[in-house]
Every structure is written in structure tokens, then in C-alpha cells.
A and B are shown apart, each in its own frame.
Chain A
Amino acid sequence: MLHFALREAARLALGLLGALLLAAALAALGAPHAGRGFMPFMIGWGSVLGSLAQADLGRSAMSGGSVWHELGAHLPLTLGLVGEGFLIALIVGIPIGFLFGAGPARRAASPLVQVISAAPIFVAALALAYLAFHLLHWPVPVGAGEKSGLQLVPHTMAELQAALLPVLAIGLAGAAAAQLALRRGAADTLRQPWRVQLRRMGLTSWDVERAYVVPAVLAALLASLGEVVLALLSAAAVTEWVFRYAGAADLFVKSVALRDWSIAAAILFVFASLTMTAHFVGVCLARLLADPGAPASWR
């Protein structure tokens, strides 16, 4: 286990370093003279890396303020949305994954889940907005207009109504990834001969499911934590735009449109780091839960 964790930690460190270098290369495009050839670009890149070593992320070309300040203003909203969406993903995804993992229940639920998976996030978000507007009579900020704020810990009904739709849209995207991981884990264990053999040796179904199947299935979910986080971040990018919330994903879209590469690079780095870190944590926890041991070799 220690050897595995160290190896994964090394992979994470290399991944973060790589992401940092790529982000720095993108930020260097915003440096003066960067567009004038390879050497000026390399000098710009080196300069950005030097600034990063001093924890200086540079300045935003849009606002003139520091990149740290812009991230501080916008990132918490996105992280909050993703965090709350993650909870929804677990609350919805885990029961779907277990209940509809196999058999007739799965066959019955399959078409609905396929259709929901096929709808792009913005379509799903607009559909949710329509249902909330017409069935629940909630005010829905999807039209044109100023970007609004969002209370992630709502205290009033209006704040709850404003927060629920984007969180739900993001959560459902995460739930799709979570239930897939669980179903795959369940399908893998269904095929294993030890399930039958342990019962033949005298264990009850409950013994086998509780002691061996559930940990394996949960391990499958944990191993896919990176995928779940990536699905949440992808959904957040679209949802902020649809519901007009000024989060980091919305800032990214603006920064690309206005060629503010420092901001774009910083946000991309944060998103990549979140995904890679979630993957690392997930695979380590999965290994703790279900360490298979070394496989035999033909030698």
C-alpha cells in the first residue's frame, strides 16, 4: 500500500508540475513581445515561471488587478457549486448505482438514464429551469441581464430557489458519472467466480455482499473520483453561463474572449489540479478498501 501511494503521489506531483508548465506557457502568451517568435516566447515563459516561484500569478489584462484577487473573487462560487453538486451526485448517484446496478431494475431504468446522459448540460439546465418556472413557479435567471450573485448557504426561500437549480444541474452530471462507476464495479463483481464459490462453501448471500461485494463496488466509485470531479467541473462551466452566475468558469470564458491569458491559465491550472488530486485521493482510498495483491506472472 505504501509503495502504491508513493508511486501515485509521484505521478500526481509530475502531473501538477506538467500542468504548471503548460499553464505558464499559456500565460506567457500574454507577455509583451510573446507573439514575435520562439525565443521571445521562451523568455516570456521563463519570466512567468520565475514569477510563479515567487507566488506571483501576474496581473489580469481585463481588470488590471492581480490574478490572485480575481481568483479569490470568483473561484469560491465555482468551488461551492461543485462541492454542493458533489453531495447531490452522491445522494442521487449511489442509490441509482446500487439499486439499478443489474438485473430487471437496470433494464427498466436504462433507457431513462441513457436519454438523460445524452442531453448536453445546457439542455438539461434549461429543462430544469423550465420545470422550476412552470411547475414550482420559481423565478429563474436564464434570460439576458446582469450577472447575479449566489448564496451557497441559502437563508431565504428566494436564495434556496436561486441556488438549487445550478447545484442540481451540476449534481446530476456528477451523479451520472458516480452511478456509472458503481454499476461497473457491481458488474465486475457479478462476473467473479468467488461470489459463487464462497456461497457454495457455506457463506450466506448477505455475508458475501456485505463483506466483499460492497467494498469492491465502493472501491470502484472511489477509483473514479477523478472522473466524477471532471464531470462536475464540466457541468459548472456551462451552468454558470446558463444561470448567469459570476464564477470561475464564467470568468474563464470571458478571459478567453478578451485574451486575458493569465486568468485563463490560472483557472485551467486550478481545474486540472482539482481533477488530478481527486483522482489521487480516490485511487488511494480505493486501494485501502480493496487491495488486490500482486497478480501472478506466467513465469
Chain B
Amino acid sequence: MSDERKPILELRELSVTRGGVVELDKLSCKLDRGETLIVLGDDRSGKDALLRLLGGFAERTDAIGGTIKLGAGEEQAASRKMRSPIRIVYLPGTERPPLNPHASTASQLARVVARRHEAPRESGREELRLALERLPGTPPFDALDRKPGVSSAVVLTWGLLAAALAQSPDLLIADHAFAGLTPAENKAVVAALQAEQKRIGFALLYAARGLQTAAHIRGRVIVLRHGRVIEEGDFDKLAGGQSHAYTRTLFKALAKPGDALPARTMRGEPLLQVHGLDFRPPGDKGPKPRDGLTFELRRGAALALIGEEGSGRRTLMRALLGLEPFTSGRVVLDQVDMSILSAAMTARLRRRIAFITGQDDALDPRMSLWDTVDEPLRAHLGLSRDMVAGHRDTALKRVGLASYDGATVVATLSRFDKRRLQVARAIVSAPFLAVIDEPLRGLDAFAQSIMKELLDDLRKQEGPAFLIVTADVGVAQALAEDAMFFKDGKVVERGALREILKNPRDEETRHLIEAALGEILL
């Protein structure tokens, strides 16, 4: 066997128990040098326990069983603290801040690299710079000299990846490392990682809760649930068919070409009409578009605004809703010209708009479950609690939160529960327009499938128009018939999404589609 294919990691009947709860139950697997293993599951699947153990940061309360063999070392009890014979490097994601906000990204990462090599910090900084330059498509090194709080998720991710690679790993443990990125960013970073993996020959263990990154990496997959492996196999094979019901639900979240919604045949009244809109903020010194934007959104229809961060899709959304001023043009919402309305009247009009967003702090954390759902009806129509109770209970039942104590405070809910609560609130408010902004962000694959079903149900039952803001063509495909693609503050392509997916004309559009759905099948 060549050196490249010798096992770097062998786990035999590995189990981790904490506080009487079995987090990992007799996991056995092997990972060869140069190979990739994707560990897929939700936050309680046991992935965390596995990463803690392999990364060498098991907690005192962890009771560990089974054996572990690293590289050419002896097989040992996993509970023993040992000096690893191979270089294990941990690569965190950016969803939880991995770096101190008061020091620059470069200085912190240089310190990490220097510590690994037991070298001075200047040497660590140089290694970091060289590692970053080796990766294609990275930002300039100067971008890392800023504080983490002012850098975007993708810049931080490139920096963290460069720091990890600069440490010359034998085994790279990636902890949801690319979860906060858009599909296009994800694709670029994964491509760079895989190129380096081929060059250096390290093994990669990637912990994921969603399928987005896994679809780009495409290695061997093990699906964990409640600490057990319920299915495993090659990614492409699993994508073609799954044997376990849970795995089937996970893979339903995987966007595939050809899943696009058919064009709507029923045409409702116009809800939103836009005429000659230049949606740049007033005072913007950029080039003026030749023609303003003109389009309409009919009742019950769904339009996706697709583009990377900073492409202009959110600016347009905020201009359409009167949340921010625009340079010129006209926006007519529900047959009312928004420019002639006072602030109070605009606020009244916006009562028929529901927001469902991927931001965890969109709901007031102090409010209770019931009050969050009740509020639109009670605040806007002055109805009493008893009068809205029926609507509230129905909405909660539809989203699967009916069994929760109504006094449960929002702050204690999980991310998925908060997302579902937003849908329940939208159901109760009976909106004519639902603004849906990255609804699947940060959810595991199972939750993503459920969330798509809930949004589909909202549209079918309550019939609002959907205005979807996303960087993920897969999300747009699942929820919208029409789309506009954005780049640098301009609309680069628009029309029926199904047609655009078959034959994109613009390069940016093609790039976004391929990042989310793979190669376009013409």
C-alpha cells in the first residue's frame, strides 16, 4: 500500500457519554491519508463529541470508550490522553466567532501558526501569507489585517483555511467550516481546499449539518443520528438513493437541477408594480443605469432576487418596501404609490407584509411563544387574546410547535424552532406579501426540508406573494417561479427561473447556478 493510502485514523467502537447522555454510540470507521470523510447529522447527532475527541479537547465530564489509532501509532484506549503521532489541525467555521474581536485576523492566525511551528510570530505571519497566496481566488493579505468584526464571513474563512493549511496537517478536522458561506463562495473555497489536499495529501474530516458543502466536497459520507451511524456510503451513491427514512429526508434538502417550479398559469391582480426604478440610494456616485427597472409581482406569485452579498438584491428589496429611499422611479404596492404616503400610512400598509428571515435575532427574545404569534392580530386589529387563540393554535399546529408551552420564551428556543415560529407568525398575520430572506441559513438538512415544506404550505394556504432574497439558486428554485439575478447593483438576468436554469445567458447567473446545482445540463 502506498503511503498516501495508509490509514491515518482508525476508530473502533468509539463511545462518548456526558452527564448520563450517550452522545456517541460505538462508532467504528477508518480514514486513509488523502481521503475525505463527511460526518452528516444535526446538532445532537454526536458529531460534536467526535470532534472534541479527535481534536484533543474532550471535556472532563466526557466518559470515553473504544480505541483509537492515529497514523502509525499503536491502537490505544480513546480515553487515554496521548500525544498525537500525527498533526491534527482544527478548522472552525465563522457562525460562532472564532477570533477575538479586538485584534486583527492576521495577527491572531499568525500566532496560531507560529505556535504550531514553535516559531516567532513574524515567521507565522509569513507562513500564513504564503499559504494564502497559494490558494486561488483569495482576497489580498491586507484584508486579514482588519478586525474580524469588519470582515465578511468569506474573508475570515479564507484566512482560517490558510492558517490551517500553513500548519501542514496530516488530518484536518473541519467543524462546519464553510456553513456561513453562499453556494458560490462555498464552491470556490472547497475547490481550493481539495487542490491543497491533493498537493499535501492530508485526510479531511468534515462535520456538516447541511448538504451544501457536502455536495461540493463529494467524499465518503456517514450519517449520524442520536450517536449512531444510520447510513454510510459515497456521496454520489447516496444522492441517487437512500435506504434510511432519515437520510431520505436529509437528501430532500439537496437542490437538484430540474426541481424548478413550473411557470404559473393562474395570474392574480398586480400586487407590486415597479416603474423605471433606479434603486441606488440617493447620493450614490456610481454609474446611472441606462433604463430603470420595471416589473410587476402579482398576487400569489413568487419572485426570487438572487445574488451574492453586496450585489444589490437587498437594496432593491428595501427600496420596494419603502425601508430606504431610492434615486428615482415609482413603486406601487397594493395599488398605492408608496412615494405619496406618509410614514404612518406606509407603516399601515406594511402590516400586510410578513418577514421570514434567516437571522436568529429577528424575533424579540423576551417574548413568549404565544405572544410572538398573537402580536400581529392583537397589535393591528386590537383583538383580545381569547379571540386570537384559535388562529394562534392552528398556526402553531401547522408548524409543529403546538406541543410547546405557550409561555416558553423565544430566547430559549433552538434556531429551527425560531424559524418555524416566524412562519407561524406569518400564517396568523395573513399577509399579502411574504418577504423571505435566506430562510434556510444555518439549518441542518432535516430542518431545511421541513422549512421548505412549511413555506410551500404557507403559500398554498394563505396565498401571499413571495419575495425571496437569497444567494442560493436551490432555495429560489424550491420557492419561486420567476427570478432576477444581481451583480454589482444591477439586474443581469431575469425571467422564468425554469428557463434561466436551462439556458443562462449571463456569466454571473451561470456561476451562481453551477455553485448551487452543479453543472448545467442543457
Contact = CB atoms under 8 A, between A and B. Distances in A.
Determine whether A and B are in direct contact in the complex, meaning some CB atoms lie less than 8 angstroms apart: yes
Interface stretch (B20-28, B142-150, B182-190, B456-464): B142-150
A198 B90 CA distance: 10
A37 interface: no
B116 interface: yes
A216 B102 contact: yes
Contacts of B100: 192, 194, 198, 212, 216
A197 B102 CA distance: 15
B112 A294 contact: no
> What are the 7 closest A-B residue pairs judged by CB atoms, nearest first?
A293-B147, A293-B149, A197-B98, A290-B102, A193-B96, A212-B100, A293-B150
Kindly name the residue among A196, A202, A299 whose own CB sees the greatest number of chain B CB atoms within 10 A.
A202
B108 interface: yes
Interface string A26-64: 000000000000000000000000000000000000000
A153 B116 CA distance: 53
B115 A293 contact: no
B212 to A, nearest CB: 21
Contacts of B148: 293
B99 A197 contact: yes
Nearest to B323: A299
B449 interface: no
Interface in B303-355: 314, 318
Contacts of A199: 57
Given A201-B112, A203-B112, A193 B90 contact: no
5 contacts: A192-B100, A199-B57, A216-B100, A293-B101, A293-B148
B399 interface: no
Interface in A85-99: none
Contact of B55 (A194, A200, A211, A212): A200
B149 A296 contact: yes
Interface in B174-206: none
B97 interface: yes
Nearest to B151: A293
B318 A299 contact: yes
Interface string A212-229: 100110010000000000
Contact of A201 (B96, B147, B163, B359): B163
B167 interface: yes
B92 interface: yes
Interface residues of A, number: 28
Interface string B492-509: 000000000000000000
Kindly name the residue among B99, B100, B111 whose own CB sees the greatest number of chain A CB atoms within 10 A.
B100
B78 interface: no
Contacts of A294: 149-150
Contacts, number: 74
Contact of B146 (A201, A212, A293): A293
A202 B116 contact: yes
A292 interface: yes
Contacts of A216: 100, 102
A204 interface: yes
Interface in B13-63: 55, 57
Nearest to A208: B100
Kindly name the residue among A197, A219, A298 whose own CB sees the greatest number of chain B CB atoms within 10 A.
A197
Nearest to A287: B102
A292 B100 CA distance: 9
Given A200-B57, A293-B149, A207 B111 contact: yes
B72 interface: no
Nearest to A298: B359
Contacts of B57: 196, 199-200
Nearest to A293: B147
Interface in B154-179: 163, 167
A215 B102 CA distance: 9
Interface of B: 55, 57, 89-90, 92, 96-103, 108, 111-112, 115-116, 146-150, 163, 167, 314, 318, 359
Kindly name the residue among A194, A203, A211, A219 whose own CB sees the greatest number of chain B CB atoms within 10 A.
A194
Contacts of B149: 292-296
B98 A207 contact: no
Nearest to B324: A299
A193 B98 contact: yes
A207 B111 CA distance: 9
Contacts of B92: 197, 200-201
Kindly name the residue among A193, A200, A203, A212 whose own CB sees the greatest number of chain B CB atoms within 10 A.
A200
Given A201-B92, A294-B150, 20 more contacts: A192-B97, A194-B97, A194-B98, A194-B99, A194-B101, A199-B57, A200-B55, A201-B98, A201-B163, A202-B90, A202-B112, A202-B116, A207-B111, A211-B103, A211-B111, A212-B103, A292-B102, A298-B359, A299-B314, A299-B318
A215 to B, nearest CB: 7
Contact of B102 (A200, A291, A298): A291
A292 B147 contact: yes
Given A293-B147, A294-B149, A294-B150, A203 B98 contact: no
Nearest to A292: B101
Contacts of B314: 299
Kindly name the residue among A198, A211, A289, A291 whose own CB sees the greatest number of chain B CB atoms within 10 A.
A198
Kindly name the residue among B96, B111, B148, B150 whose own CB sees the greatest number of chain A CB atoms within 10 A.
B111
A102 B167 CA distance: 34
Given A193-B96, A215-B102, A202 B150 contact: no
A124 B112 CA distance: 49
Interface string A274-299: 00000000000000011111111011
A291 B147 contact: yes
Contacts of A299: 314, 318
Contacts of B101: 194, 292-293
A212 to B, nearest CB: 4
B166 to A, nearest CB: 11
Nearest to A193: B96
B102 A212 contact: yes
B24 to A, nearest CB: 18
Nearest to B104: A293
Nearest to A215: B102
A290 B89 CA distance: 28
B115 A203 contact: yes
B147 A198 contact: no
A7 to B, nearest CB: 18
A202 B103 contact: no
A93 to B, nearest CB: 23
Contacts of A200: 55, 57, 90, 92
A292 B99 CA distance: 11
